[in-house]
Structure 1
Amino acid sequence: MDQVEPPECPVCLQPYAAGFTVPRVLPCGHSTCEACLKQFPNPFPHTLRCPVCTLLSKFSNSPSSSFPKNIDLLHLSSLLQELPVKPKTVISQSPPLAGNHSLPFEFSSKSWSHEFYSKWKKWIIPRDSILLEKSTFETFDEIFDGKDLGSFESSSEMGCVLREEEKVGLVKVGIFLDGSDESKLFSYSYESRIISVLYGMREKERIELVSILNLSSRICRVGEVYGFWYNENDRFVYMVCENFKSTGLLKSVHNEEEVEERLNCDKMIGFGIVGMEMCEILSCLHLEGLIIGCLGVNCFVFNDFGRVYVDFSKVLNMGRRVNKVMKRGLKDLEVSLKTEILENLVFISPEMLLELFQKEGFELDSGKSRYEVGSGSDVWSLACLLAWLIIGSSFIEETATYLDCVVNAASDGKGCPYFSLYKVWMEKTEALLGHRLGSEYVPLKEFLFRCLEFNLSNRPPVTELWKCLRELVIKPKFDCGVSLKLEVKKEIKGHCVVLGDLCQRVEETNKEVIDGLPQNYDNGRANVRRDVVEGLSGGHVECIDMKGHLDCITGLAIGGGFLFSSSFDKRVHVWSLQDFTRVHTFKGHEHKVMALVFVDGGQPLCISGDNEGVICIWEACFPFDEEPIKKLYEQKDWRYSGIHALAVSGTEYLYTGSGDKLLKAWSLQDHTLSCTMSGHKSVVSSLIVCNGILYSGSWDGTVRLWSLSDHSPLAVLGEETLGNVTSVLALAADNNLLLVAHENGCIKIWHNDLLVKSLKTHNGAVFSTSKKGRWLFTGGWDKTINLQEISEVGDQIDTMPVGSIACDSVITALIYWQEKLFVGQSDRVIKVYYGV
């Protein structure tokens, strides 16, 4: 026969023995060793939780002296151990607490994870922060103007700041389609709409967005990108960018009216300074692995101090315009290239043009091997921009002629001699540069000519162009040898913005993917019921009305296969959970019924209390009786009377919260008053029992915690804010989290006795809460049910507003049960929401 192992501590798994591993008996009957008792965290002063049943126990001085030794376990252990036990090594692992066990169920909701939400939420700009000043929404790629209505600082690491009345630029990045035409019950939250659009993007698009957001924070010469804002009028999500007051490089540098045969020295110095700053910006972008692909004059702007910046909102707009033009047929392409590209002074490198033509199915014969778009493409575009600044309109005319020849040759279908046409354009450009620069600036002309080489590998890096332009400002003999710190290699390709997904989208929307969920619902699924949260996430929720009460609903409870509801009409109704019909009515109260609870014991009970202090105990099983099996009476006080809240602890005690500021514990065995708990300074409005603790909320704005073992006080929450009292109206508890609903619309989340989160969820009092797993439902005065997702990551508590259900009356009671949400309203109706 196998040898019987000696009993061991359930925490450290060390056998019990005299000395260091002496077993101590907790009030619940379970035992653990002295060493582990000393390591248990104390959720409240002089308390600890049993590692087996999680019951909260109190002790006086120390755990080892307050709890007796388990002599039987110690004796048995000594008999079974053949060898003496060595002193136990203390394990540094924390003992398991009640909050660590897994939940018995798991909702399915939107597809994105908490990590995805945490990553992007720091870039969400508040709903009321932006005012859209331009009202036309005709093109997807248009930049809109707006202004900030209130200061905002993002929670990103770099802390982008929007100041009040600051002008901003808005670029569309996606449209929110909730697919909720079939169900208008649920409205997604502002945050959910933005996250849905971001999640519905392709991974490459999100990578581009991250690159742009990070670059705007790291590189000082790039216009800031503040985050994302959702416009409810057109349903678009916008990227909010810095809006420069400057009119851009076009009007600030080049003046067509001042055409001279030669550029004077002063203008060349100014030209060199501006060109150097543009080179510095491109150098920084290339080092970060980002290539624009083609450059337009309006991409560069001046700040208030005359420094050159790159505006990424205009870069994206330019890229979308280029892609939109290339999607047109060859018949329209010739006109489009002139009107949309050259008139806006956008310069597309030969390899970029090849890429765009081939992507749309037009074949160009370059006569050379194909070159991939890389950092040299930006060098080519910048050289064109500089050439335009030097030559003027003649350069645009020659470029237009060159593009016309390319399009016409491609439309013939005989193959376009692309390289030959490009070579002709190069020769004419060289002649124009020589005419304007003369003999004094021959090195500059030759260097720009090198930058315009057809072969990408023959173009110099942007740092060499910077050095050439620097010689226009500082003569070599006076130069101190300053240079760009980092050299950009010619072979660096990087990620091209214009060829990226953000610019390729043009007018695409997420029609196939909405909120990250495939929209494959058909008529055959309309009758399939599923979890209400899953239905809310997909925009498919239906509702059933249960009518029968004659006044406001005050409470809901579920047990024994029935739903019990109380009301101001002095009655308690019993409803079938199968077909949601009323099966019985309890008629024992003579006053308004304020609260009710269900007791699941050997004899199932429904207990209700009214505003005159009368407690009715009903037998909650079929067949039902109209009269209660027992009535209990609270002592009346002419100043305060009536029961406002009920709670039960298993089958031992019934707890009542009353208008006389007291909590009372009633024995469920003999129906006698066991004890009275005092401390609140106003009406006890809500009660809940969880993990060995009785929580009581009051109109005095505090929540008091009581031990279920001896009904002694443990802690007081919210006492420090008595100067600004907001009454507690509802409580929800789950593991070590307590959620407190206040009359000002706020929900406060407490972990043991520490406030970890406070959020405004409603416009008005919150009368009811219901928490299941990570989902929190709240309802109140504003006739709205809000759904929040609560995430626990380590010691951090995070919340995300998922959405809301607009109701036609004030919400007075909420309860979630088996994938359905039951809602009691002030208009006498009980609604049942479920997903389809």
Structure 2
Amino acid sequence: MEPPECPVCLQSFDERDAIPRVLSCGHSVCEACLAELPQRYQDTIRCPACTQLVKYPSQQGPSSLPKNIDLLRLSLQHSPSPSSSSSSDHSQIPNQRSTTNSCYYHPPFSSHELYVTWKDWILPHDAVLTDDHCIGWFSSTKGRGCFGVNRSVSLAPIVCFPPRDRSKFRFSYVAWVIKCLEGMNEGAKEELALILEASVRQGRMCRVYGLWSEGVEGPLYMVCERQRCNLLDKFGELGNGFLAVSEGGLELDKGGIFSFLMIGKGICEAVLALHLEGLVAGCLGLSCFSFDELGGICVDLNEALMLARKFVNAVSVEHKEEAMCKGCLENEVFASPEVLYELLHKRGTAPDSGHSRYPIGYGSDVWSLACVLLRLLIGNVLAWNTLEMKEENDGDSSASYACWVEKVSSVLEDKLGSEYLSLRQILCKCLDVNPGNRPDVVDVRKCIQNMLVKPQFDFLGNLEVTISRDYTGICLVLGELCLLPKQSSNELIEHELWEKEIGGQPNVVQDGKGKSDEDFAAGLPKGMTELKDLQGHLDCISGLAVGGRYLLSSSFDKTVHVWSLQDFSHLHTFRGHENKVMALVYVDEEEPLCISGDSGGGIFIWGIAAPLRQDPLRKWYEKKDWRFSGIHSLVVSKNHSLYTGSGDRTIKAWSLKDETLICTMTGHRSVVSTLAVCDEVLYSGSWDGTVRLWSLNDHSPLTVLGEDPPAEMKSILAITVDRHLLVAAHENGCIKVWRNDVFMNSKTLHKGAIFAMSMQGKCLYTGGWDKNVNIQELSGDEFELDVKAYGSIPCSAVATAILCSQGKLYVGYADKSIKLLLI
């Protein structure tokens, strides 16, 4: 048998160095540790064993507490362990209550790691204003980003799920973005993260600002900087490129060639920036490149992604390689033969050609880069040669391709002559069917640079950059972000994605039996339906409670109704109150009880055992005086004492055995509107804006929370406690959160008063004047607590009572109804 130890320093108790002192909660701590434990409030301390707030004699010190004689006797029977004594160190006294609650802060709705990873990329909902609504998978939309100064942006849809009309649950903005990210597979998220991070590091890429959604349950977009002019806008009308052709032949325009070389150099550097980040576009076009504010060339990642998506869609429609090649060149979407083959191969329609043995990598972009440069140089002749290619070599794709390359080389030779031989040679080499024979982007850039500046003077122009040919990078056109469902319509696409990633339509469970509160919270993203609408009361619902097989509800109509939890039928009505029933509570005893209090000070105890009786088992009334305005709140402790919060600013403790008044607790300056009990501590909230803590052992005050200046005082209408956390709801729509009596956070949740609140684990449900039930996620650590809006449930009336129990959410309204919501 191990000798008893102090729960703080783990040293064995003794009569000299570690005298066990007994706290009012029953736990023992050595005298030395008690002297050094932090005291946040005078004359109180938190037990390090159970975290209960207990009375502590600050002036006299721990020596005034009684010794635990039994532990001392037991310790004397064992010799102290040298190892344990040597390992103890009073300079390292941990507050062990923090470890018991570490699991509390794991978010229930989404991965905490996912939220931390992506939260900095989520743009505020009002950060982007769209200029049009032509939103689809295959085109980006335009907008303005409000980032201090209005900037033009492009929006590329990343993922989209259909709205769930049958569901009552609506995500908050941030929660919806996180849920969209959860719906993406790991490959798509890796690609997206790589694109976002690359845009920050590379100046040759249009900046990606982050992720944004137009509205809750709308598409998730990648928001990218949109330059004023791209190459397609500026050079799309150049039928013959930079080389002007007259009836007499080619007219060499030196200015045009110089402009082409400058632009070509910028395009090479933009493609090189992609490769340095491990990205391969897979297909390129003039629209992928834009002029920045300084006249440089940068690659537009949104446009590259949209072009790749259009290309993938075109491949899914047309399955013949020759037709695809011709169609892509005519539409100025340039993808290498090996990329085209790989896409056709995925659909099982790839021809038996030699392209199948070539890998896809940086060399694939070199082919596309050459086509972009050729398009700028010789214009539409590039596509014109494709039409002749099909006629001369019908049925032989390899011969057709070789013929096309020869024709392109011939056109270049005729128009460029011998002066630009190196440019012609390297562009034709880029079109080699074997990626291994193609030059690197660095080589293409160097060739153009040497034509601009003589090599002997180019001491600053050469790039000392090498890219491994063995590393293939992530190809956007073959990546997860470009993969689309087989259906072409947006509705079918969204439906399939929804079924695959989120789970489709809400799964309506009729009884909800066996569902825990965690199951309820985890199931919210799949949808919430209104299972029952309980009608029967004639006035506003004031309270809800679940006990045994029954749901209990109180109302301003002076009655308490009993409902079956099996089929939610109305079973019984307790009548007898002469005033509005303000609160009720269920007591789980050998004979279960329901206790209700009214605005006239009446306290009624009803029997819940079958058969249900019409008359109360017992009833009594509080003493009235000129300040009296009835009972506003009720709670029962484990020792079966009843506590009432009253309009006369007091809290009264009653014995349930004989209805005698045990004591009256004073201190509040206004109506005691709400009560809660947790770990032998009574919590009381009041219209004076404070929460007071009372010891249930002797009903003495422990501390006061939330004392604000009179001008800032807002009435507290509801509180909820879950061991370490205390949440208070105010009439201005704000909540305040304390952890172990330390203020952690304050946040406005509603536009108007919060009348009802329920907390289950990590989820906080609030309802109030604005006719919404809001759902928050409490997350954080010992030093910081975050209140994250997860979603809301629109209501038809003011929510006045909320109860989450057994996988169901019960909401009482001011319009006399009670609605049962089920995932």
TM-score, normalising length: structure 1: 0.86
Q: Among residues 280, 283, 291, which one is paired with 1:302 in the alignment?
A: 291
C-alpha displacement at 1:108, in angstroms?
A: 12
Within 5 Å, which residues of 2 pair with 1:149-164? 151=146, 162-163=147-148
Within 5 Å, which residues of 2 pair with 1:197-212? 197-212=180-195
Kept in 1, the 8 Å contact 2:811–2:819? The answer is: yes
What is the aligned partner in structure 1 of residue 247 from structure 2?
none
C-alpha displacement at 1:102, in angstroms?
A: 9.4
Name the CA shift for 1:496/1:404 in 2 (closer, same or farther; >3 Å): farther
Quick one: which amino acid aligns to residue 308 of structure 1? I
State the distance in 2 between where 1:701 and 1:527 align: 40
State the distance in 2 between where 1:385 and 1:83 align: 80
What is the aligned partner in structure 1 of residue 454 from structure 2?
475
Within 5 Å, which residues of 2 pair with 1:743-758? 743-758=731-746
Within 5 Å, which residues of 2 pair with 1:494-505? 494-505=473-484
Q: Among residues 548, 551, 557, which one is paired with 1:563 in the alignment?
A: 551
What is the aligned partner in structure 1 of residue 12 from structure 2?
15
C-alpha displacement at 1:439, in angstroms?
A: 3.0
State the distance in 1 between where 2:442 and 2:360 align: 18
- Secondary structure in 1 matching 2:538: coil
Kept in 1, the 8 Å contact 2:602–2:620? The answer is: yes
Q: Among residues 146, 150, 161, which one is paired with 1:176 in the alignment?
A: 161
Kept in 2, the 8 Å contact 1:262–1:438? The answer is: no
Name the CA shift for 1:394/1:683 in 2 (closer, same or farther; >3 Å): same
Kept in 2, the 8 Å contact 1:107–1:534? The answer is: no
What is the aligned partner in structure 2 of residue 251 from structure 1?
234
Q: Among residues 412, 421, 431, which one is paired with 1:433 in the alignment?
A: 412
- Secondary structure in 2 matching 1:241: strand
State the distance in 1 between where 2:193 and 2:159 align: 15
Kept in 2, the 8 Å contact 1:295–1:382? The answer is: yes
- Secondary structure in 2 matching 1:381: helix
What is the aligned partner in structure 2 of residue 89 from structure 1?
88
Within 5 Å, which residues of 2 pair with 1:45-444? 45-61=42-58, 64-81=62-79, 86=85, 89-90=88-89, 92=92, 94-97=94-97, 100=100, 112-137=110-135, 139-148=136-145, 151=146, 162-163=147-148, 165-177=150-162, 180=164, 183-231=166-214, 235-251=218-234, 255-256=238-239, 259-260=243-244, 261-329=250-318, 341-364=328-351, 366-367=353-354, 370-402=357-389, 408-409=394-395, 416-418=396-398, 420-444=399-423
State the percentage of identical aligned residues. Answer: 42
Name the CA shift for 1:485/1:689 in 2 (closer, same or farther; >3 Å): farther
Kept in 2, the 8 Å contact 1:632–1:671? The answer is: no
Between stretches 308-317 and 139-148, larger displacement belongs to 139-148
State the distance in 1 between where 2:506 and 2:176 align: 20
Kept in 2, the 8 Å contact 1:297–1:344? The answer is: no
Kept in 2, the 8 Å contact 1:619–1:629? The answer is: no
Kept in 1, the 8 Å contact 2:33–2:93? The answer is: no
- Secondary structure in 2 matching 1:466: helix
- Secondary structure in 2 matching 1:750: strand
Between stretches 767-776 and 551-560, larger displacement belongs to 551-560
Kept in 2, the 8 Å contact 1:667–1:674? The answer is: no
State the distance in 2 between where 1:803 and 1:34 align: 48
C-alpha displacement at 1:769, in angstroms?
A: 0.9
State the distance in 1 between where 2:522 and 2:535 align: 26
Quick one: which amino acid aligns to residue 206 of structure 1? K
State the distance in 2 between where 1:88 and 1:47 align: 29
Kept in 2, the 8 Å contact 1:785–1:811? The answer is: yes
When the two chains are superposed, the root-mean-square deviation of aligned CA atoms in Å is 3.6
Cα offsets for 1:455-484 (capped at 9, x unmatched) = 211222212222222223332222224433
What is the aligned partner in structure 2 of residue 26 from structure 1?
23
Name the CA shift for 1:473/1:660 in 2 (closer, same or farther; >3 Å): farther
State the distance in 2 between where 1:676 and 1:806 align: 39
C-alpha displacement at 1:237, in angstroms?
A: 2.8
C-alpha displacement at 1:235, in angstroms?
A: 4.0
State the distance in 1 between where 2:251 and 2:433 align: 28
- Secondary structure in 1 matching 2:182: helix
Between stretches 316-325 and 469-478, larger displacement belongs to 469-478
Cα offsets for 1:392-442 (capped at 9, x unmatched) = 232332245446778x52xxxxxx341x33332222222322333333332
Cα offsets for 1:668-694 (capped at 9, x unmatched) = 5662251332244x4332222223433
Quick one: which amino acid aligns to residue 8 of structure 1? E
Between stretches 642-651 and 283-292, larger displacement belongs to 642-651
Kept in 2, the 8 Å contact 1:571–1:593? The answer is: yes
Note if 1:678 corresponds to 2:667: yes
C-alpha displacement at 1:219, in angstroms?
A: 1.9
Kept in 2, the 8 Å contact 1:279–1:463? The answer is: yes
Between stretches 623-632 and 380-389, larger displacement belongs to 623-632
Runs of at least 5 residues in structure 2 that lack an aligned partner in the other structure? 245-249
Name the CA shift for 1:497/1:86 in 2 (closer, same or farther; >3 Å): closer
State the distance in 2 between where 1:628 and 1:615 align: 11
State the distance in 2 between where 1:449 and 1:806 align: 64
Cα offsets for 1:694-720 (capped at 9, x unmatched) = 333333444344444455555544444
State the distance in 1 between where 2:2 and 2:335 align: 80
State the distance in 1 between where 2:471 and 2:2 align: 67
Q: Among residues 764, 771, 777, which one is paired with 1:776 in the alignment?
A: 764
- Secondary structure in 2 matching 1:511: helix
Name the CA shift for 1:444/1:336 in 2 (closer, same or farther; >3 Å): closer
Kept in 2, the 8 Å contact 1:395–1:432? The answer is: no
C-alpha displacement at 1:316, in angstroms?
A: 1.2
Quick one: which amino acid aligns to residue 64 of structure 1? P
Kept in 2, the 8 Å contact 1:563–1:575? The answer is: yes
Between stretches 667-676 and 732-741, larger displacement belongs to 667-676
Name the CA shift for 1:249/1:304 in 2 (closer, same or farther; >3 Å): farther
State the distance in 2 between where 1:592 and 1:526 align: 33
Cα offsets for 1:118-174 (capped at 9, x unmatched) = 43344333445444332345x5211112334xx4xxxxxxxxxx3464332222222
State the distance in 1 between where 2:818 and 2:343 align: 60
State the distance in 1 between where 2:696 and 2:44 align: 12
Cα offsets for 1:186-207 (capped at 9, x unmatched) = 3444444433333233322222
Kept in 2, the 8 Å contact 1:745–1:764? The answer is: yes
- Secondary structure in 2 matching 1:166: strand
What is the aligned partner in structure 1 of residue 496 from structure 2?
511
State the distance in 2 between where 1:824 and 1:647 align: 19
What is the aligned partner in structure 2 of residue 155 from structure 1?
none
What is the aligned partner in structure 2 of residue 455 from structure 1?
434
Runs of at least 5 residues in structure 1 that lack an aligned partner in the other structure? 152-161, 410-415
What is the aligned partner in structure 2 of residue 159 from structure 1?
none
- Secondary structure in 2 matching 1:645: strand
State the distance in 1 between where 2:470 and 2:153 align: 36
TM-score, normalising length: structure 2: 0.87
